[in-house]
Amino acid sequence: MNKNLSPFQLYFFIIQTQIGVGILGLPYEVQSEAKGDAWISIVVTGILIQMVITLYWLLAKRNPEKNLFQYSVSMLGGIAGRFINGLYVLYGITVMVVILVFAVGIIKDWVLDETPRWIIVAMLCLVGVYLGKEEAEVIAKFHVIVSGLIILLLVITVIALFSYPLDFRYLLPLSQSGWKEISMGITKAYFSMIGFEVLLILYPLVKTKTAGAILKSATWANFTVTGVYTYLTVVCQIVFSPDEMDIIPQPLLYLVKALYIQVVERFDLLFASIWIVNVSTSYVSYLFLSTEGLKTVLMKLKRPYLAYGLCAATFFIALFLKDEKQMHIVNDILLKCSVIPIVIIPSLLLIIRLFFYKKKTKGSM
């Protein structure tokens, strides 16, 4: 397998996959459960994700020349392995649909309220498939280039802080909600921070002298995302009161809406436009993941055709899910079932690799 990615590119690939559609609503979602301790929920989520990333690294470094879809087949056999890969493809498709539906809803509310829904979905899909059909190296280079926009988002929020009276008392006392509420906030934060699982696919593509460099890149990516999300949540919490946070679904957009300078009249539109780029990169990453998985199931079809097919599928499914109730049902199912591809399957594969293959090796000596 060609090793074309650097640890530097892996770092930005993971960041751009994790930071996506959920960044605008994360403070509201976590605040609704953990209240003033929302930032604690995000920090704990980051710690838990780091444990999962370490699990991925332990699994992948024992199969350094193969990605998840390849060693699942070699370890479990053709039928079971391809079934597992099919689950990952289904998971990837579902995530892409959720990204499209939530992104379209926000775009229509804030930017293109008169534009037909299908046109917005089509634009996002076309941008996604244009890049998603390429190899990992091309996608990674794009992710590196657009990552500077995240810094611009943070700069805009810093500028916005000077337009509001800040009240740090909204964060006090610490642990005011109790660990039950903080735990519920963790489930909300976790869903907005998924994307780190691309490490299972990208690991064999990274060119490095030591396996530790890959873990270091993934760790720094998770640290960066956790830091960005914690900062944005704290910013919203010290600007808006708890009662206001309960009724503002996208507090970051409301935060920057009050900004005004002669050059830029609507900072919220600028903020939303930059956010759309992050949505697209997240969609592209999951399209890449799903295409890689589908390659092991439909081996005769070339990669671009698989990407086109997956993109078309997400387009029509996203158009079908117009009702908000339907979308929340899909979202809840994905939230509960995502633990299977993200935690359970990699854990089982690692156990099999550690114990079954160890016994097999001893038996052959």
**Quick one: CA dihedral 276, 282, 283, 288, positive or negative?**
positive
Looking at residue 255, its pLDDT comes to 87
Looking at residue 309, its pLDDT comes to 95
Looking at residue 322, its pLDDT comes to 77
pTM recorded for the entire structure: 0.93
pLDDT in tens, 169-183: 888 888 777 888 999
Q: Tell me the average pLDDT across 23-28.
A: 90
What does the alpha-carbon distance between residue 219 and residue 121 come to, in Å, rounded to a whole number?
A: 33
What does the alpha-carbon distance between residue 15 and residue 18 come to, in Å, rounded to a whole number?
A: 5
CA distances from 341 to 55, 136, 162, 281, 284 (A): 13, 21, 43, 21, 19
| pLDDT of 24 over the 60 cut | yes
Residues contacting residue 4 through CB under 8 Å, at least 6 positions apart: 135, 136, 137, 205, 207
Tokens in use for 237? 């919490």
Predicted confidence band at 329 (pLDDT cuts at 50, 70, 90)?
Answer: confident
Residues contacting residue 20 through CB under 8 Å, at least 6 positions apart: 99, 195, 278, 279, 281, 282, 283
- Work out the burial of residue 68: count CB atoms within 10 Å of its CB; fewer than 13 is exposed, 13-18 middle, 19 or more buried: buried
Predicted confidence band at 203 (pLDDT cuts at 50, 70, 90)?
Answer: very high
Looking at residue 186, its pLDDT comes to 93
266 or 152, which is more confident: 152
Looking at residue 361, its pLDDT comes to 47
Q: Tell me the average pLDDT across 225-243.
A: 93
| pLDDT of 139 over the 50 cut | yes
Q: What is the mean pLDDT of the chain?
A: 89
Looking at residue 40, its pLDDT comes to 93
State what percent of residues in the chain have pLDDT above 90.
Answer: 57
pLDDT in tens, 33-52: 988 899 999 999 999 999 99
Looking at residue 262, its pLDDT comes to 67
Q: Tell me the average pLDDT across 200-205.
A: 94
State what percent of residues in the chain have pLDDT above 70.
Answer: 96
Looking at residue 273, its pLDDT comes to 86
Give the Cβ contact number of residue 168 at 10 Å: 9
| pLDDT of 1 over the 90 cut | no
Predicted confidence band at 290 (pLDDT cuts at 50, 70, 90)?
Answer: very high
Spans of all domains in the chain: 7-327
Looking at residue 365, its pLDDT comes to 39
Q: Tell me the average pLDDT across 343-354.
A: 93
pLDDT in tens, 89-119: 999 999 999 999 999 989 998 888 889 999 9
pLDDT in tens, 6-15: 999 999 999 9
| pLDDT of 201 over the 60 cut | yes
pLDDT in tens, 52-82: 999 999 999 998 889 999 999 988 888 899 9
Q: Tell me the average pLDDT across 159-164.
A: 84
Looking at residue 358, its pLDDT comes to 57
Candidates 124, 360, 42, 91; CA nearest to 200 is 91
Q: What CATH number has the domain spanning 7-327? A: 1.20.1740.10
Predicted confidence band at 137 (pLDDT cuts at 50, 70, 90)?
Answer: very high
